[in-house]
Amino acid sequence: MTVMPPDRLLLDRAPTPIGEALLVTDAAGRLRALDWSDYEPRLRRLLRRHYGALPLSVGRAPESIRRALDRYFADDLDALDAIPCATGGTDFQRTVWAALRTIPAGRTLSYGALAAQIGAPKAVRAVGLANGANPIGVVVPCHRVIGADGSLTGYGGGLERKSWLLAHEGASLRTAA
């Protein structure tokens, strides 16, 4: 499935309990990226990789997206499910990102289990790379993917944020030996 590139992108900033979120939306009101202000250079590189030299203008994200994020951080953990998203990326990446949205809040999945879920049980490393390239943090919950031993593994927004998000969602984690 080919995703049409947007004509323009808008960048908004929203306060959260774990830092200022950067929200990138398209003219149709779909979330294209969510990252953190302390990682803005990475966000801009990712947008160039996915959309080329498309201009990024300052603009307000749709109120529905801002309200859903506020509700999520105020403990309505399912509020993010209704946020419309669109991404660039390869077909495989988009398959992984779609599977991430099926992991319920408060639950975690290993990279191997995620690979099996999408019908590619031997593609654990590729799933890990796709998970790490996810442009829409929190809403496409890559933070819910952990190591096979139950340990926290990398997160583009930092392990402190990953740990906070999982604790906020009530996920129980084992401590790796």
Question: Residue 132: inside a domain, yes or no?
Answer: yes
Please write the tens of the pLDDT for every residue from 133-148: 999 999 999 999 998 8
Give how far Cα 84 sits from Cα of 42, 79, 112, 130, 139, Å.
Answer: 23, 12, 27, 20, 10
Of 22, 33, 46, 142, the active-site residue reads 142
- The average pLDDT across 141-158 equals 89
To the query of whether residue 85 is one of the catalytic residues in this protein, the response is no
In a domain, 2, yes or no: no
pLDDT in tens, 91-133: 999 999 999 999 999 999 999 999 999 999 999 999 999 999 9
Q: Say what the pTM is.
A: 0.90
* Same domain, residue pair 29 and 68: yes
Per the structure, the complete domain to which residue 133 belongs is given by: 91-169
| Residue at which a domain ends, from 59, 82, 105 | 82
Q: Is there a domain that residue 65 lies in?
A: yes
Q: Which amino acid is at 146?
A: I
Are 101 and 161 within one domain?
yes
Indicate the residue among 29, 53, 82 that finishes a domain. 82
